[in-house]
Amino acid sequence: MILSRIVAAILPASPAPLRTMKKLVISALCLCLAASLPVAAVDLHGSLTQGGMAWGQVAPGAVVSLDGETVKVGPDGHFVIGFAREAVASHTLTVTRAGKTESQTLTVAARDFDIERVNGLPPKTVTPPPEWAARRKTETARVARGRALNSDALDWLAGFVRPAEGRFSGFYGSQRILNGEPRSPHYGLDIAGPTGTPIVAPAGGVVTLAAPDFLLEGGIVIIDHGFGVTSTLFHMNTVDVKEGDRVEQGARIGTIGATGRASGPHVDWRINIGSLRLDPQLLLEKDDGKDKK
């Protein structure tokens, strides 16, 4: 309204050509005003820590980047980011809107991770035999495809529940020494329970992988929660869903087992954003798994 009055004073009521010019002047002034407005710092939720996931919301159409890498922004401005197990302390979040860019520094807390020794595993599951190579290549490719979606679904925003009852028996970030041989860090949350214990969807989404017999993972299910966020569940005794199924949070998807490379019945739950591996336990509020039998 104020802009219209200013332009009217400059270009009073006039024939059509001048009225068109008036509209163009108003549009130009609006764009200049929008570009001059500051881009507010983003209010983030979640965990700014190694293995943590954080999320926020910006104006629709804004461009968000983390350390120079563009982040998916949904139609309503939602976005989600994560930090690797080895993430450094300082990261830069940048938001660009209407030609205006604002950056803020994110400080990511460091964590101490445990060393975990697992003995008694069949030797071929610790050091897979050469004849497994072709099958493992196929299986890992299927896992990569299962985590490759980047839909606008917001199931991840509704939060997560533990996928099974039981005690936490293995933790994200711990380095495992299998039969005396050091291995890469563990990237899941293990929940131990009797074979046949129900496993439920930690959050709603679409099943992108369901298989009963992967060599190392055993029974495996991947659920896409949107924005590249996925849950992967290993060592299932039964897989009760199929690829393409839509599951709601808390819906049964299978049962706990000891299939694949497992020293006892449990489910290994993993959270990813694409190929970035995050800590599922950080998404479970005030649940340390110690009171579950």
Q: Specify whether 225 is located in the same domain as 176.
A: yes
Domain assignment present for residue 20? The answer is yes
Non-local (6+) Cβ contacts of 212 within 8 A are 218, 219, 236, 238, 239, 259
Domain assignment present for residue 233? The answer is yes
Per-residue pLDDT, averaged over 22-48, amounts to 57
Quick: pLDDT tens for 213-244: 999 999 999 999 999 999 999 999 999 999 99
Q: Specify whether 93 is located in the same domain as 147.
A: no
What whole-number distance in Å separates Cα of residue 68 and Cα of residue 49? 19
Q: What is the CATH number of the domain that holds 93?
A: 2.60.40.1590
Q: Which of 63, 88, 107 is the last residue of a domain?
A: 107
Q: Specify whether 206 is located in the same domain as 69.
A: no
The long-range contacts involving 62-65, CB below 8 angstroms and separated by at least 24 positions, are 62/95, 62/96, 62/97, 63/95, 63/96, 63/97, 64/93, 64/94, 64/95, 64/96, 65/93, 65/94, 65/96
The pLDDT value given to residue 167:
97
Q: Specify whether 161 is located in the same domain as 253.
A: yes
- Judged against a pLDDT cut of 60, whether residue 27 lies above it is answered with no
Total number of domains in the chain: 3
Q: Specify whether 166 is located in the same domain as 83.
A: no
Residue written as token pair 């009217």:
8
Q: What is the CATH number of the domain that holds 167?
A: 2.70.70.10
Domain assignment present for residue 288? The answer is no
- Judged against a pLDDT cut of 80, whether residue 47 lies above it is answered with yes
Residue pair 229/156 in contact (Cβ under 8 Å)? The answer is yes
Q: Specify whether 170 is located in the same domain as 269.
A: yes
Residue range of the domain that includes 30: 2-36
Q: Specify whether 146 is located in the same domain as 31.
A: no
The token duo for 79 is: 């976005």
Quick: pLDDT tens for 183-220: 789 999 999 999 999 999 999 999 999 999 999 999 99
The mean of the pLDDT values for the chain is 86
The pLDDT value given to residue 181:
76
The pLDDT value given to residue 183:
73
The pLDDT value given to residue 268:
98
Q: Specify whether 189 is located in the same domain as 169.
A: yes
Q: Specify whether 138 is located in the same domain as 254.
A: yes
Q: Specify whether 86 is located in the same domain as 173.
A: no
Residue pair 40/73 in contact (Cβ under 8 Å)? The answer is no
Quick: pLDDT tens for 107-165: 999 999 987 777 766 666 666 778 889 999 999 999 999 999 999 999 999 999 999 99
The pLDDT value given to residue 291:
53
- Report strand pairing: 266-273 vs 229-239: antiparallel
Domain assignment present for residue 289? The answer is no
- Judged against a pLDDT cut of 70, whether residue 263 lies above it is answered with yes
What are the respective helix, strand and coil percentages of the chain, to the nearest 5?
Answer: 20, 40, 40
- Across the chain, how many H-helices and E-strands are there? 4, 20
The pLDDT value given to residue 2:
42
Closest-CA residue to 46 (of 278, 292, 245):
278
Q: Specify whether 153 is located in the same domain as 253.
A: yes
